[in-house]
Structure 1
Amino acid sequence: MRWLLLVSTVFAFVLCFTRHSAGAWGFWMLAGLLGVFATTLAFVHARIAGNAREASLSEYDLKRLREGKPPLRHERP
Structure 2
Amino acid sequence: FFDPLVAFMISEPIVVAVLEGENAVENYRLLMGATKPEERKLGTIRKMFGLGYCENSVHGSDSETSAKREIAYFFTPSEIV
TM-score range, shorter chain: under 0.3
- For normalisation by structure 2, the TM-score amounts to 0.27
> Which one has a bigger Cα radius of gyration?
1
| Structure that is richer in helix per residue | 1
- For normalisation by structure 1, the TM-score amounts to 0.28
